[in-house]
Amino acid sequence: MKTFRNMDLITLITLLVIGLFAGFASGMVGIGGGVVIVPALVYFLHLSQHEAQGVSIGMLLMPVGFLAAYNYYKSGNFHFSYSVLIGVTFVLGAFLGSKVSLRIDEVLMKRIFGIVMLLLSIKMIFSK
């Protein structure tokens, strides 16, 4: 397990930039972990797909979205009950998804991840 003490400066800066960019993307368009953090960790820090997914899920343990959610709440663009329901089921989904993912070969997992991102991108590009 990586700790702060045995982390070099380049890795620290890279992680800070990834977090800042992912936080910005999340606050702006609702993306972050799967779309920004996972690919960045794989390609910039050379983590395995599973390691990157683990970091992304671990990052969610902190209240990273609190201030962004507060801004949306102040502007009248926040549905508390929706957030609670999705959040509660997200816990179960994340648990089950991680169990399945860890049983899938690394190369196949990268392909599944890429296909999901591609399909979502195509849908967003061509939808009204």
Note down the domain range covering 95: 9-126
Q: Is residue 104 part of a domain?
A: yes
pLDDT digits (tens, 9 = 90+) for 23-52: 777 766 667 667 888 888 888 999 888 888
Give the total number of structural domains in the chain: 1
Q: Is residue 69 part of a domain?
A: yes
| pLDDT confidence of residue 29 | 62
- Kindly state the DSSP code that residue 69 receives in the 8-state scheme: H
pTM of this structure: 0.66
Angle subtended by helix axes 66-74 and 9-29, to nearest 10: 20
The 3 state secondary structure assigned to 67-107 is HHHHHHHHCCCCCHHHHHHHHHHHHHHHHHHHHHHCCCCHH
Q: Is residue 2 part of a domain?
A: no
Please give the average per-residue pLDDT across 13-21, as a whole number: 88
C-alpha 48/C-alpha 54 separation (Å) is 10
Please give the average per-residue pLDDT across 14-19, as a whole number: 88
pLDDT band at 76 (very low <50, low <70, confident <90, very high): confident
pLDDT digits (tens, 9 = 90+) for 80-119: 777 777 778 877 887 888 888 888 898 998 898 888 889 8
